[in-house]
Copies of this chain bind each other. A is one copy, B any other.
Amino acid sequence: MAEVTTSLSIGQVAERTGLSVHALRFYEREGLFANPVQRGSSGRRVYGEDDVEWLTICIILRASGMPLPAIRRYAELVSEGAGNEKERLNLLRQHQERVNIQIGQLTQSLDLITFKVGVYEDILSEGDPTACLTGRQQLSFGEPEGDVGGVVAMFAGLDVEQEVGVDSRVS
């Protein structure tokens, strides 16, 4: 209770969160912090544990594909204080929905990929003729083919992209 808010430098926060100092400054410029980052002697940023907690949430939201403007909006709502819980809920529900859809699509993609992995495993166990009995393959122009349902329609309109990440400096 009498913890006098441990203060952290930008470097320490970077280390703790796995974000770069650049990213931290960038997030601040972009208004992702719910409460303004304090400044200490000679204008240096001073963070508290609560900032780290907040950043953790931001990281998770980002990791699940929430765009910065949406996180900014959420931060705004939080910083405005109580009274706008409905809007916060809406924002979160929307994102929840998107993540659900995304997981669904990835799972579908994974199905195809797993299917193809299976096909190639069968091919590579060619010494074993029983593999051919599974009937998994159906060649088309040199590529083992197997269209799992009307997949084109399934995937029109949403796409997932992964980035190389901030390296794990968490000790």
A90-107 interface mask toward B, CB cutoff 8 Å, 1 = contact, 0 = none?
Answer: 001101101110110111
Which of B95, B99, B145, B160 contacts A65, CB < 8 Å?
Answer: B160
A131-171 interface mask toward B, CB cutoff 8 Å, 1 = contact, 0 = none?
Answer: 00000000011110101000111011111111111111110
Residues of B within 8 A of A96 (CB): 110, 113-114, 117
Which of B34, B86, B155, B165 contacts A142, CB < 8 Å?
Answer: B34
A24 interfacial contact with B, CB 8 Å: no
Interface size on A, residues (CB 8 A): 74
Indicate how many identical chains form the complex.
Answer: 2
A103 to B103, CA, bound (A): 6
A37 interfacial contact with B, CB 8 Å: no
Residues of B within 8 A of A120 (CB): 85, 88-89, 92
Q: Shortest distance in angstroms between A116's beta carbon and chain B's nearest beta carbon? A: 6
A152 to B59, CA, bound (A): 8
- Nearest B residue to A160 via CB reads B65
A62-87 interface mask toward B, CB cutoff 8 Å, 1 = contact, 0 = none?
Answer: 11110000000000001101100110
Q: Shortest distance in angstroms between A30's beta carbon and chain B's nearest beta carbon? A: 16
Decide if A89 touches B34 in the complex (CB within 8 Å): no
Decide if B81 touches A142 in the complex (CB within 8 Å): yes
Decide if A57 touches B110 in the complex (CB within 8 Å): no
Looking at A35, A82, A86, A141, the one whose CB has the most chain B CB atoms below 10 A away is: A141
